[in-house]
Amino acid sequence: MREEDALLLECLEDVYHTFEKALKKAQKVRSIHVQKFEQILDELRSERRVFEDISIPARLIVEQLLESQLRVGQVALEAEYLRHPFTGVEAVKIEEFGIIRVKLGKVEITWRDRNYSYYLYPDKVELRAMDEKSAIKLFFSVSFNQQIIERFPEIITSPNVVYIHPQLEIWLQGAQ
């Protein structure tokens, strides 16, 4: 784990424990705010799982989705017979066992990280099930940039990654 990741994880732990302590105090109160605290605690667990429970390529994808959500990017989706046009990212959540849940507009897609291999292109990713029976394609309106790619040089040796576009590979080699 990189130093900056360890620092972010430590900060998340601090906030999580503070909220957990506050929630214990608030359990006696009958208020909608208690449910909101529980929701925030769940979101903090999801953030922690980004660092602890998913592979490096999945993390790159999650971070690109979060960038799209927080900045103005959009994402399109193709999965088997489903085609969904470019839309905003409503939510990104990491659940137990490395299950990644993404809500694009009104459509929600879920995959389990360890059951997929990754094909990385500048403006899209393709996730293929290990049994090759299904695939998910995510298209980004804002391409991966050199800065985000260089943060994940370990992708080159990741067993989950089957293909890396030459442009991304050049950026990754420059980061090593």
Q: Tell me the pLDDT tens digit for each residue of 9-47.
A: 999 999 999 988 988 888 888 889 888 889 999 999 999
Residue 1, pLDDT score: 64
Weakly modelled stretches of the chain, pLDDT under 70? 1, 175-176
- DSSP-assigned letters across all residues of 10-56: HHHHHHHHHHHHHHHHHTTS-SHHHHHHHHHHHHHHHHHHHHHTS-H
Residue 90, pLDDT score: 95
Positive or negative torsion for Cα 149, 154, 159, 164: positive
CA 62 to chain centre: 2
* Nearest alpha-carbon partner for 137 in 80, 91, 176, 92: 80
Class of domain 57-175: alpha beta
Place of tokens 């009958």: 30
Residue 80, pLDDT score: 86
Residue 104: count of CB within 10 angstroms of its CB = 24
CA 144 to chain centre: 14
Q: Kindly give the residue spans of alpha helices, DSSP state H, lying in 71-165.
A: 146-150
Residue 175, pLDDT score: 63
The reply to whether the predicted model has a pTM over 0.85 is yes
Residue 2, pLDDT score: 81
